[in-house]
Amino acid sequence: MSPLALGTMTFGWCADLDAARAIFDAYVGRGGNFVDTANGYAELIPMAATMGLGVVAWSPLAGGVLTGKYRHADLTPEAGYHRKAVAVANGFLNERGLAIADVVREVTTELDTTPSRVALAWTLLNPAVVAPIVGARTQEQLDDNFGVLDIALDPKQQARLAEVSAVDLGFPHETLRRLGYSS
């Protein structure tokens, strides 16, 4: 199975038929064989028919887990703090998310790569993840995402990312940890 799954939510929404075809062909051309269509992407059925593809209405949760539009804030340094402030004010990001973005950006600089590659490399290390779903709306984004296969996070980078993204499990987990029952 492919290390990266191709998400098709952008097809027919952010990527027109020609762009979707080019993205799909590039994905398959690089050996991709895992395409996520979920069951909420009604626009995919006519598009798939036009492209000569079949669509199986399936999702891991049997409910179409990707039915809303993604909102994205540009967190590159040149975007400045204005976009961060707007994203935080609108509830799209919180302080924890911004701290994670800062560490991702630091690792990005260390590896001379892109934030998407660092995020995907980090996700690929999670044993619970079979294949991260990439939702490219351009072939350039797909190519960038495939660049993750050429990078590796060292143990210190992995530890920093794990520390900044750790989820506070609260009670009873914290109490058990303090009592020495952590695994």
**Per-residue pLDDT reduced to its tens digit, 115-174:** 999 999 999 999 989 899 998 889 999 999 999 999 999 999 999 999 999 888 888 888
Mean pLDDT of all residues belonging to the chain: 78
Query: What is the rounded distance in angstroms from the CA atom of residue 104 to the CA atom of residue 122?
Result: 9
Most confidently modeled range among 4-13, 53-62, 132-141: 132-141
H/E run at residue 36: strand 35-36
Query: What is the rounded distance in angstroms from the CA atom of residue 52 to the CA atom of residue 5?
Result: 20
pTM exceeds 0.75: no
